[in-house]
């Protein structure tokens, strides 16, 4: 089930109705848990078993980790959790990828090994709920938070349908305490939530799918050599599409949760206004960035064990973060490029003795130019994220930088759509970079807010139901 479907509208209305009935809080939580399983089962019902298995293992292992004093038994319990979670993730997401690379390696050394292709279906959102449960057991191992008291609350924490499939990646202290006492949205929360839901759907259905997806798909699916203009338009279209699609999902998720009285963490903060790459990763997929920082970068050494270890930890974090996104070496290169950007940025900051981030300074022309440079370099990385082969990636880069020239592909209308939407998107990010969208809405008069809200609704009705899933469902 996806937010951008009429099925979800009916489902959500029913959930709101049940959640606001005069029932006990435990009954309402059971209703939310069952609704979350139904929401997930709409893709492939048998995969609910994976959710149950991950939930039950980590609930009991997490409790045992917190109370266990024997260090050897404690490490063994952590290994059980890691094997259970990462084992399922590796099998379903990376099984075919690992087999293909093993076969290529055997052929390289002269063995003719050709096994049957496995038919593995990737469970929706497995990367997201695996990270959600992993952070719980790791926190229990470190005793950084207390165990969740009830299996019901823990199950709801893992499977709460707004964040289940594509985040935000929540941590126990952010959500579990909200299940401990009755919650019903206030009138203000309900209106804010519906506004965010409308905005998120508008970003996904009208802008990402309706205005940008066709140009991105046409360029990246083309087998022909493209002129520079078409290549850049295609890459910029995908740059806008993936932000509007993914941030649209996160905005919907936060809005849906708010309508039920729950608060989810912010996941995007105008990333295309980032002044530098460390600033970009504080603004793009914030919950994943903070997860990688706390559970990968810092354990690998972070910035407290010398520059060499810091650079190693930074690159390994970005490479593994790239691999988290997909079972393809192009994703690893995408992560590696971001790691390289961060290396270069860190090197020059250290050389100049810069302690604070440039992003905290005033919005000068220099900062804007740096932000535009950051944006353009990020666009180069999107080539590897979107293209499924290195050959396609290299062909796109050749076209973008005028090394080859081909026959025009895109229509004038398609080019105009991207040429209008992307600059507007970047400017909106720049001028709103230190604000929140709800704060902007609060400052507007009710007349203008009503006009903009109505316009989004009308455009959604005009665009009708979007049949495409959110891009990050595949991760």
Could you say which of 152, 183, 214 is where a domain stops?
183
Asked, for residue 82, whether it belongs to a domain, the answer is: yes
Q: What is the model's pLDDT at position 364? A: 83
Residue 206 lies in a domain: yes
The confidence score (pLDDT) of residue 374 equals 95
For the chain, the average pLDDT equals 88
* Tokens 């009954």 sit on residue: 27
| Overall average pLDDT of the 77-98 stretch | 84
Domain total in the chain: 2
Q: Which residues are annotated as catalytic? A: 325
pLDDT > 90? residue 356: no
% residues pLDDT > 70 (the chain): 96
Q: What is the pLDDT of residue 349?
A: 83
pLDDT tens per residue, range 375-392: 999 999 999 999 989 999
- For residue 224, the model assigns a pLDDT of 85
C-beta of residue 13 within 8 angstroms of C-beta of residue 190: no
Query: How much is the average pLDDT of 211-216?
Result: 93
Q: Are residues 123 and 179 in the same domain?
A: yes
- CA distances to 82, 160, 256, 378 from 291, rounded to whole Å, are 16, 19, 23, 21
Of 183, 206, 221, the one marking the end of a domain is 183
More confident residue, 167 or 141: 141
Does residue 454 lie in a domain region? yes
With respect to residue 1, please indicate whether it lies within any of the assigned structural domains.
no
Question: Is a pLDDT exceeding 70 seen at residue 209?
Answer: yes
Note the pLDDT of residue 252. Answer: 94
The answer to whether the pTM exceeds 0.75 is yes
Regarding whether 291 and 438 lie in a shared domain, the answer is yes
> Within 13 Å and on the Cβ side, how many CA atoms surround 96?
12
Mean of the pLDDT values across residues 241-254?
94
Residue 354 confidence class, pLDDT cut points 50, 70, 90: low
- Assess whether 66 and 144 both reside in one domain: yes
Decide if 10 is inside a domain.
no
Judgement on whether residues 85 and 214 belong to the same structural domain of the protein: no
Phi–psi pair at 403, nearest 5 degrees: -75, -25
The per-residue pLDDT for 20 is: 93
Residue 351 belongs to a domain: yes
Same domain, 139 and 193: no
Task: Find the mean pLDDT for residues 179-197.
Answer: 93
Same domain? 123 vs 176: yes
Whether the predicted pLDDT of 355 surpasses 50:
yes
State the residue for tokens 């052929």.
107
pLDDT tens-digit map of 103-127:
788 878 877 777 777 777 777 778 8
Q: Which of 183, 216, 245 delimits the end of a domain?
A: 183
DSSP 256-283: HHHHTT--PPP--S-GGG-SSHHHHHTT
Q: Which domain holds residue 453?
A: 189-474
Specify whether 255 is located in the same domain as 358.
Answer: yes
Q: Spell out a b/e string for 65-95, using b for 16 or more CB atoms within 10 Å of the CB, else e.
A: bbebeeeeebeebbebbeebbeebbeebbbe
Q: What percent of the chain has pLDDT over 90?
A: 55
Instruction: Give domain status of residue 59, yes or no.
Output: yes
Claim to verify: residue 355 and residue 377 sit in the same structural domain = yes
Q: What is the mean pLDDT of residues 81-98?
A: 83
Q: Check residue 307 and give its pLDDT.
A: 85
> How does DSSP classify residue 117?
P
* Residue 401 resides in a domain: yes
- Same structural domain, 412 and 307: yes
Please indicate, yes or no, whether residues 283 and 323 belong to a single structural domain of this protein. yes
Q: Are residues 161 and 258 in the same domain?
A: no
Q: Which two tokens stand for residue 177?
A: 């305490």
Residues 218 and 348 in one domain: yes
Question: Mean pLDDT across the stretch 291-300?
Answer: 91
Question: What's the rounded Cα separation, in Å, for the pair 258 and 41?
Answer: 23
- What is the rounded CA–CA span in Å between residue 375 and residue 361? 18
Average pLDDT of the segment spanning 363-369: 84
Report how far residue 228's alpha carbon sits from residue 399's, in angstroms, rounded to the nearest whole number.
5
How far, in Å, CA of 37 to CA of 51, rounded? Answer: 9
| Cα 15 from Cα 410, distance rounded (Å) | 44
């Amino acid at each position: 089930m996806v937010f951008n479907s009429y099925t979800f509208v009916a489902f959500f209305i029913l959930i709101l109705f049940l959640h606001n009935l005069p029932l006990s809080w435990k009954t309402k939580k059971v209703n939310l848990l069952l609704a979350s399983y139904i929401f997930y089962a709409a893709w492939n019902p048998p995969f609910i078993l994976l959710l149950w298995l991950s939930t039950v293992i980590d609930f009991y292992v997490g409790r045992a980790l917190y109370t266990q004093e024997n260090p050897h038994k404690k490490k063994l319990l952590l290994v059980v959790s890691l094997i259970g979670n990462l084992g399922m993730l590796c099998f379903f997401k990376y099984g075919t990828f690992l087999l293909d690379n093993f076969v290529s390696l055997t052929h390289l050394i002269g063995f003719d090994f050709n096994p049957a292709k496995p038919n593995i279906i990737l469970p929706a959102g497995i990367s997201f709920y695996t990270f959600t449960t992993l952070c719980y057991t790791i926190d229990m191992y470190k005793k950084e938070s207390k165990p969740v008291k009830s299996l019901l609350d823990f199950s709801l924490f893992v499977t709460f349908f707004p964040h289940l499939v594509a985040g935000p990646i929540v941590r126990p202290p952010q959500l579990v305490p909200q299940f401990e006492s009755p919650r019903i949205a206030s009138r203000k929360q309900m209106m804010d939530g519906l506004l965010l839901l409308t905005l998120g759907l508008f970003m996904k259905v009208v802008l990402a799918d309706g205005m940008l997806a066709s140009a991105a798909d046409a360029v990246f699916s083309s087998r022909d050599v493209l002129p520079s203009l078409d290549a850049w338009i295609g890459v910029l279209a995908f740059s806008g599409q993936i932000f509007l699609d993914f941030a649209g999902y996160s905005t919907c998720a936060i809005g849906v949760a708010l309508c039920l009285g729950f608060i989810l963490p912010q996941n995007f903060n105008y990333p295309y206004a980032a002044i530098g790459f460390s600033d970009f990763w504080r603004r793009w997929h914030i919950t994943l960035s903070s997860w990688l920082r706390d559970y990968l970068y810092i354990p690998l050494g972070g910035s407290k064990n010398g520059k060499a270890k810091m650079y190693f930890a930074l690159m390994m974090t970005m490479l593994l973060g790239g691999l988290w996104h997909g079972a393809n070496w192009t994703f690893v290169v995408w992560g590696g490029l971001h790691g390289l950007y961060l290396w270069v940025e860190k090197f020059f900051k250290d050389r100049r003795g810069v302690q604070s981030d440039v992003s905290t300074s005033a919005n000068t022309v220099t900062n804007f130019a740096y932000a535009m440079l950051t944006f353009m370099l990020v666009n180069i990385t999107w080539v590897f994220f979107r293209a499924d082969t290195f050959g396609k990636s290299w062909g796109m880069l050749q076209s973008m930088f005028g090394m080859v020239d081909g026959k025009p592909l895109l229509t004038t209308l398609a080019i105009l759509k991207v040429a209008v939407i992307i600059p507007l998107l970047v400017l909106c990010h720049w001028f709103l970079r230190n604000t929140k969208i709800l704060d902007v809405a609060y400052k507007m008069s009710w007349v203008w807010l009503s006009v903009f809200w109505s316009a989004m609704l009308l455009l959604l009705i005009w665009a009708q139901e979007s049949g495409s899933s959110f891009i990050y469902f595949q991760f």
